[in-house]
Structure 1
């Protein structure tokens, strides 16, 4: 049995009846119904109109994932700085070690550029001995970062590593960040080992 993850396994779950809204520029959002108090509060909650944009005109990406981290209670955080050249490519060959039964969670620090980002999600498929486990985490919708808020941080829901002799071993995983338009912003392969101890 293959532990390779295929593209069809990394498709986000669809919400029945949900339809992606019409895309608007930041200027269009700022001018939208200027006299509507509830809309003004919604735009403020997204951060539209506050601070100076930190979008890089030479970088066309809408989302820039700056770092990924693994938090485990009682242990130092493992942080992968994705700004370093080749950092994503090294993930597959440098597995994380997770103690069986331990509670951990992932986190991401990222920047949004150029336009409002709708429905960013994190998808992950992990495989071992032909068995696969898929998870999906909703991250949310964000306006482009500003000098007032230069980055966003998302801490994922805590997970508990499986236990027992069958659960221990090496896992291959593929993850991606995708939005409501089904645009993939980052996709990477990585691996981890579940062990009896650290």
Structure 2
């Protein structure tokens, strides 16, 4: 199988993405690689998603481990749900100095997703205050949803740091596919 090369905007040159079936058919003489590929595709569901996406972020769950507050779940699997979340004046409030964690619930369809990662930019007014990047991993398609909890984040404290913040969240993979991009606001309170 001849691989075509591509070059992305950063100048990286690499092979084009191949389908799961093509990947399984390559290097069949390498026993170690065959075991790895078998583990990746165990119990998979290689059907396509209802809308053709390879990765569907079903929900973001915000956990507050410091207190007795229940987690808040924000469904974001459909375009309507994303629009609703983006149009809210305030998605949630969190107390200054407390800790919060975001859990991502997602499903992978059809092909293996390599280098699935999370990028979050947080702004107060026009100034960007936080840039978070987290590699989540590589995932094979399967019928059940995956869950990944991002590292905890401690909210800043102090009079000047209270107030509304705007966040831009993005989930991408190594092939530069954007699986979810959303903006929301949250508030740090006393």
TM-score, normalised via structure 2 length: 0.82
Residue 129 of structure 1 pairs with residue 121 of structure 2: no
**Root-mean-square deviation (CA), in Å?**
2.3
Measured in 2, the distance between the counterparts of 1:161 and 1:66 equals 25
Deviation at 1:153, TM superposition (A): 0.7
Question: Which of 170, 181, 193 is 2:187 aligned to?
Answer: 193
Deviation at 1:170, TM superposition (A): 0.3
Instruction: Could you tell me which runs of 5 or more consecutive residues in structure 1 were left unpaired when the two chains were aligned.
Output: 1-13
Instruction: Could you tell me which runs of 5 or more consecutive residues in structure 2 were left unpaired when the two chains were aligned.
Output: 1-9
Question: Which of 137, 141, 144 is 2:141 aligned to?
Answer: 144
2:81 match: 87
SS for the counterpart of 2:161 is coil
CA contact (8 A) 1:55 1:112 kept: no
CA pair 170-90 structure 1, distance change in 2 beyond 3 A? same
Greater strand fraction, Structure 1 or Structure 2: 2
Note the alpha carbon deviations across 1:120-159, whole angstroms, 9 max, x for none: 111111111322121111111111124xxx1111110111
CA pair 177-114 structure 1, distance change in 2 beyond 3 A? same
1:62 match: 54
Higher relative contact order at CA 8 Å, sep ≥6: structure 1 or structure 2?
1
1:115 match: 111
TM-score, normalised via structure 1 length: 0.79
Deviation at 1:70, TM superposition (A): 0.5
Measured in 2, the distance between the counterparts of 1:24 and 1:80 equals 33
Paired residue total? 176
CA pair 19-108 structure 1, distance change in 2 beyond 3 A? farther
